[in-house]
Structure 1
């Protein structure tokens, strides 16, 4: 049972919260408090059930963030555990760090908090200094424009150094508030990197953004991070270099849990990027010279360094030859189709099976070349670890050479791991997707990718089982009114101790209506132009007197076609995704509404979640078509193929449940608070003409429904 002092602490904090302005106590939240605490204290575990796990669909307005934070923190303090909250986007992380956790502390709950991002989001003071001081003269092929760019970039990095040294910035990319955009190619040269980090031997170790974050984590009872960081820390980092506390001492809370399967898949995926390999080839002479200079300059005990350099040059040639042949093969499979802003040509290998020619090129040429380069890098790295890092850290030129070595090591290791996954025998219980993508008209701008299809068993084994307890929550976890799809994706079953809970929305959905259509052209690919035209004919009248609208599309292609044909008056009121950042568009939208003007936000899938526009900021939502997965997505196509091979029906097993969940998200954009009202219009006649339409409609929020 939950100890009395835990219940009392939760009640005391809740009473204090009730006395704060703007706090509303919600029935569903009370249920969450109780169920989370019971789960953490093992109330539902029976016999040898391995998991203390709870899956909660906390529908919009249920107050799920506080609903899990309060019981998790109070329970963790009693159990001497850490709470690790992992989310899928930065906005929610910032809300938890800057609003929800401080609110609990003000209510009298005592705990320390920390934020953890991946190494790549932290500023490296040493590498920044190396970047600024790198005086390598431009070669004969470098034009004046390139020189000016280099000077500009160095000036920008100098500004970051000044801010960091003055303690006006903590070195975390997400916390930078200056005017400079950090979404720059040079960021990868000045961010923290495990392969270039010299740890305690660095002159800046005592003032390091990354290691300061590690120190914060050690003292924190609550740690906020993201899904990808949690997976990377558990799966790919040696225990002594991990940022997060041990899983056995942690309560993992996965918010936005509907993303978990995809983010976990991504952590296991691999990609051979031939543009990167081409860049290595172009810089191979310089890289080898840097490694020789590092060995000689730091007096490293590397035997026959000149012979090592010769072998590296031979391996670079073999790598270049193999990559070139693979690229030739890739163009043969991809054909003449050109990449555009709306479509990147893809060739998916059926059943995940690579052709024999590609297998041989990977096995007999590219992998041996990469293994040779990796072996050479490791020989030098081992000698650095033995004795010389301190001497190198005091010499900026040697630091530069060390950076070249470790960047080469990282790129080669990544390519080598991709080769291994691309060649791996297909596990019939897991399956694998393999495909080629052309990204631009550059010959080398091609990737060969691979990702496992069924990852639930691995997720359960490597993430859920090691943890003390796990909580999964989102506003949309059910598909077609059931947790079955989510449960199967992650191998989370009641027989293992996992509990499932739905907290319904407290909002009055009778203040909204849902309008569907019976006679519009069916929005399949071949009929897309006719569907777009029919939608345009209705849209101006449908939006009527609404001042704040959102229109959602399943593809960028159709969205652009719709935008291009909008009447001038509607076009003038429109704010279109990809013309600016989402935050910027939302700010402009709110400003227009505040000024009494009409504002129409138009976007694709990413606008269908995490967009919070309550009350008068959004009274109309238009949905162009049902959000079925893109049939051209190689992972989705491979999953369907995998399910079909087992004698099952992919549409019923995958496509329909996933579309149901996404449609609930789209419709859910309208009702964000008790004050919300308006209408949702779905311009897809399949809701009325197909047998599955009723299933989808029955799973939507209980709005008033009307057919036109």
Structure 2
């Protein structure tokens, strides 16, 4: 997960121009090496997408930035290493390329995957594909400009001339297919009731059920795969020209620029045939979750303008993809995590990940939880399903803690509840509260550490990302507050599609899917408290379902054996 320098110049006209400009300066001044895990400030998903690339768009050694590329600079140091420490995303990127392309050959390595409870989510993210109509139409126009330029540069008898001449009409047809597909989908969407959509940040999302289809009319046009193969042939020729340094037909800078442009455009189009196929059949055949996103409120959308429409496809589970790409090839693999087992077995993660043969071992930790911590069901706890009432409970509880001179991490399951609580905070609490996303994490943690070093109360509000991986040892976290049991939002399209699939097969999605996932998230959150043999503190639960329901009590049994207190 590294930045690609050439991408910085491609988004300067976007709404995120200032952010990208700051990143560009940090890169140029050597203050940031391009590692997305060490990015100096928070960035939106649109910026993250714009400044990173994938294997389809990467120019490799043909890129004019090759010598300063953070990825290739890092990769050069890997080849002589005996041990490589990488993140899950890099492993999945290598698998998408066929394995052994970025990393050493899979058959020759022993793979140790830490935090393996996250592997399924990372794999699903990596194997998810999407197409935005506006971006795809823009890519088609880019390819048209490249082919027009090449026609003017190459002699009539060049071996590419025939492909260049024959590409015009298919490219126009490609654009018509996408535009017509988007219009047809929007016409159907605007007729659906509001209850079928999830509305967020001014946009709308619609999840297709297992039996839904949104087919595209492709019969009147050249096969998209044939059109894409013609584009690939032109791209490959340009890349070979750059690699050889051949300037006889085209100046080197022109060839490099045209090669970059067509590669980026092609990378955004290559997955479209598979996307169309997935939307044309029911999901029982493909095992895919599918959803549509509109960059505006669908209630005010105009079907004549489908450019804001996005098509998304993801496997419901990563089992098949990992079985094909990893488990059948790897020499050996060890999966580790403090939260991998469920009720003392590894059956659920083994099934989710598609492990063909496995054995498991549960090892006792080094901590003595009964003496190091307490799990407290607060008198402020209640049924959290009414956000407004729960926000009042949380704000009221924090007011009672502000004078305790402690470090408190308050974990939320949604931004909405987090912001509702923020609005209700007593001023004394607000003055000592840091909220995730309002400042770069490194600066917020520095303020938190400074307050704790001075013996002051310091409170951090965070979401699930802070429940996994945030290390606050000693007095930095004397208390963890669980505002609501961490179930995945019911509108998550992948989980909702898988739940529908399980229900159709007579299985209980809550027991098989939602509850085990919530157990992992809850144990990760609770695990923020005790980080060493000398740490002490308390976990405060503000969701009474943990003790008032049978399934809640099953979650309680999965937690560390803290001293239990119910106020």
Q: 2:91 aligns with which of 230, 249, 252?
A: 230
Q: Within 1, Cα distance between the matches of 2:110 and 2:203?
A: 41
Please give the TM-score of this superposition, normalised by the length of structure 2.
Answer: 0.85
Structure-to-structure mapping, 1:651-690, within 5 angstroms? 651-690=510-549
Tell me by how many angstroms 1:602 deviates.
0.8
Q: Within 2, Cα distance between the matches of 1:147 and 1:438?
A: 18
- Which residue number in structure 1 is paired with residue 80 of structure 2? 219
Q: Within 2, Cα distance between the matches of 1:620 and 1:469?
A: 40
- Which residue number in structure 1 is paired with residue 501 of structure 2? 642
Tell me by how many angstroms 1:200 deviates.
5.1
Q: Is the 8 A contact 1:169 1:175 kept in 2?
A: no
- Which residue number in structure 2 is paired with residue 432 of structure 1? 288
Q: 1:537 aligns with which of 392, 396, 408?
A: 396
Aligned residue pair count: 553
Q: Within 2, Cα distance between the matches of 1:148 and 1:516?
A: 45
- Which residue number in structure 1 is paired with residue 180 of structure 2? 321
- Which residue number in structure 1 is paired with residue 559 of structure 2? 700
Please give the TM-score of this superposition, normalised by the length of structure 1.
Answer: 0.69
Q: Within 2, Cα distance between the matches of 1:387 and 1:147?
A: 32
Q: 1:391 aligns with which of 246, 253, 258?
A: 246
| Compared CA separation, residues 370 and 398, structure 1 to 2 (3 A) | same
- Which residue number in structure 1 is paired with residue 129 of structure 2? 270
Q: Within 2, Cα distance between the matches of 1:511 and 1:156?
A: 43
| Compared CA separation, residues 152 and 537, structure 1 to 2 (3 A) | closer
CA RMSD of aligned residues (A): 3.8
Unaligned runs of 5+ in 2: none
Unaligned runs of 5+ in 1: 1-116, 133-144
Q: Is the 8 A contact 2:546 2:553 kept in 1?
A: yes
Deviations 1:290-319 (A, max 9, x none): 322135425553234344334423433443
Q: Secondary structure at the match of 1:433?
A: strand
Tell me by how many angstroms 1:683 deviates.
0.8
Q: 1:380 aligns with which of 224, 234, 254?
A: 234
Structure-to-structure mapping, 1:52-201, within 5 angstroms? 117=1, 121-123=3-5, 160=27, 172-174=34-36, 194-195=55-56, 199=60
- Which residue number in structure 1 is paired with residue 341 of structure 2? 478
Q: Within 1, Cα distance between the matches of 2:514 and 2:406?
A: 34
| Compared CA separation, residues 175 and 394, structure 1 to 2 (3 A) | farther
- Which residue number in structure 2 is paired with residue 247 of structure 1? 106
Tell me by how many angstroms 1:535 deviates.
3.2
Tell me by how many angstroms 1:637 deviates.
1.4
Q: Within 1, Cα distance between the matches of 2:399 and 2:361?
A: 43
Deviations 1:606-643 (A, max 9, x none): 11111111111111211111111211112111222222
Q: Is the 8 A contact 1:547 1:619 kept in 2?
A: yes
Q: Within 1, Cα distance between the matches of 2:547 and 2:120?
A: 31
Q: Are 2:270 and 1:413 equivalent residues in the alignment?
A: yes
Structure number with the higher helix fraction is 1
Q: Are 2:160 and 1:302 equivalent residues in the alignment?
A: yes
Q: Is the 8 A contact 1:169 1:176 kept in 2?
A: no
- Which residue number in structure 1 is paired with residue 416 of structure 2? 557
Q: 1:514 aligns with which of 358, 372, 375?
A: 375
Deviations 1:154-195 (A, max 9, x none): 99858856x6xxxx6896435989x89998978877767655
Tell me by how many angstroms 1:415 deviates.
2.7
